Structure 1
């Protein structure tokens, strides 16, 4: 099977469970059994904390969440975990376009949020560490842009514009998952390369703070980008099943073009999974449900965006 998954929390989860040999939502061994798979392997540079902000997020958005504190050392430990996997021959880290044609299990290192960046030129350091995908925000605002959970949607800041331009220059994919509407629209107007929203669904199918409305989808599409249909149950709808994932894919594909649909499971970053899509062994079933669009959604669309960003 050829597969690209735009979002899995392997390094962060490795602190709590076996993501090499384990049999949970995902693991290196499970992914290796699939054939040719490329996974956007996330660096989540945070430690969870319980405080008033966590209570507010839970109260306002109807699901239990936590606040967090960003730490550079946490980011470094997660980079080191991916290097360990590469040194031991378990994965190959994608650093350039040529790497994308390799067979087996590939990891493209992604960072969720910009909290550990002091300024846009810190990206040069992280690029040299192997970073190739960057999410502008997580569940709260940064100096670069506002989050979908922001009280005031101020969009992309001046620093944020510089950040996007630096990503384009270096060859780092810009990821709009968790971004506010204004941040999405501003980023799409600034970028010179296709962007992604690695793990979100369509607000017209199910209203949720993490889902994209039609204007946001159109803006991402206009850059040539893709949206990763996700397994986050609260974003799917009441039944939270694989059928719902297909509904979101069909909505975006039929209304905006199937060349802009991809997969971003968020495996290992979610507590609950959709019915019928409990772990990475279910990709085959999802492929069947996607029918003639399966190769596009699960491989070629994302590969196009990756190669257009990583080229020099």
Structure 2
């Protein structure tokens, strides 16, 4: 089978896990076992863990112990270098243009999770030169561009954020609203001239969680012809999280907003535990079976539509 996963944390997890031959959630070995044609949005999460008052706030907000982290540009570069190493070893193809999507094997779309390491909007030109083709405006912290879902005061998109959106649109870089605040979602979808995504998020109507999207946010993303990747983050699912929960969230979006708006973004390697039945990336075939006639649409056609629209060459 073929599939697109819109969020996996290979870069960050490579510091502590064997993401080439390992057995935890996802690895090059597991991806090869799962499919001969997989497109992975490979996250660059350039942070180091810290413990301070912010971690206390996150723990209270999430309802479980959470660490804070500090973004560092050198860590960003090290994760980019790691992905280039995987390509030099012949393990993945880094997608640079449309034609790369037609290759067999594992394809990585480099994706920056949070714009915290950027000095100003014009650093987006550097991202383009490094083939970072997806840009998340925030992680769990507010920054100079936008407020996050954890914001104590939701100020939305700033002036510098508006410039960042414009440049990303001009360069064909996909804007990712996972972790964004509600006002940021509304501001970005109002100003973007291109489809936007929420790479890994679920539905607030099914589970009231700070990381989930309410109907107004979903509708705003859909109106850009964007997509939402239902995710395997346990705390965003039911009290007894299972693979069926992802289907339920996909069905809610599909039935209420259109099935061309639904995709999959596991957050593998970025989560401590997985839903029952979706223990690792080889289980995507089970998700495909549960999605039935909608499987090809959700796991391939919808994200590929966005990629082929914005990529050149």
TM-score by length of 1: 0.99
Helix, strand or coil for the counterpart of 1:126?
Answer: helix
> Which residue in 2 is equivalent to 1:63?
64
Structure 1 stretch displaced more, 123-132 or 252-261:
123-132
Summarize the alignment of residues 143-292 of structure 1 with structure 2, pairs less than 5 Å apart.
143-292=144-293
d(CA) in 2 for partners of 1:311, 1:181: 31
> Which residue in 2 is equivalent to 1:49?
50
What is the CA distance between 1:311 and its match in structure 2?
Answer: 3.4
> Which residue in 1 is equivalent to 2:21?
21
Structure 1 stretch displaced more, 122-131 or 225-234:
122-131
What is the CA distance between 1:61 and its match in structure 2?
Answer: 2.4
d(CA) in 1 for partners of 2:173, 2:39: 16
d(CA) in 2 for partners of 1:306, 1:176: 16
Helix, strand or coil for the counterpart of 1:227?
Answer: strand
Say whether the 8 Å CA contact 2:247–2:290 is kept in structure 1: yes
Say whether the 8 Å CA contact 1:5–1:263 is kept in structure 2: yes
Say whether the 8 Å CA contact 1:262–1:301 is kept in structure 2: yes
d(CA) in 2 for partners of 1:260, 1:60: 28
Say whether the 8 Å CA contact 1:39–1:106 is kept in structure 2: yes
d(CA) in 1 for partners of 2:195, 2:84: 27
- C-alpha offsets along residues 59-112 of structure 1, whole Å, 9 cap, x if unaligned? 232022111111010000000000000001100000111211111110000010
Say whether the 8 Å CA contact 2:61–2:150 is kept in structure 1: no
> Which residue in 1 is equivalent to 2:98?
97
The size of the alignment, in residue pairs, is: 312
Say whether the 8 Å CA contact 2:45–2:112 is kept in structure 1: yes
What is the CA distance between 1:310 and its match in structure 2?
Answer: 1.6
What is the CA distance between 1:216 and its match in structure 2?
Answer: 0.3
Give the aligned CA root-mean-square deviation in angstroms: 0.8
Q: What residue ranges of structure 2 are gaps of 5+ in the alignment? A: none
Say whether the 8 Å CA contact 2:2–2:38 is kept in structure 1: yes
> Which residue in 2 is equivalent to 1:6?
6
Q: What residue ranges of structure 1 are gaps of 5+ in the alignment? A: none
Say whether the 8 Å CA contact 2:149–2:211 is kept in structure 1: yes
d(CA) in 2 for partners of 1:263, 1:63: 25
d(CA) in 1 for partners of 2:4, 2:257: 20
What is the CA distance between 1:309 and its match in structure 2?
Answer: 1.7
d(CA) in 2 for partners of 1:105, 1:61: 33
- C-alpha offsets along residues 155-196 of structure 1, whole Å, 9 cap, x if unaligned? 001111110111111111000000000000000011111000
- C-alpha offsets along residues 200-253 of structure 1, whole Å, 9 cap, x if unaligned? 000011110000000000000000000000000000111111111110000000
> Which residue in 1 is equivalent to 2:30?
30
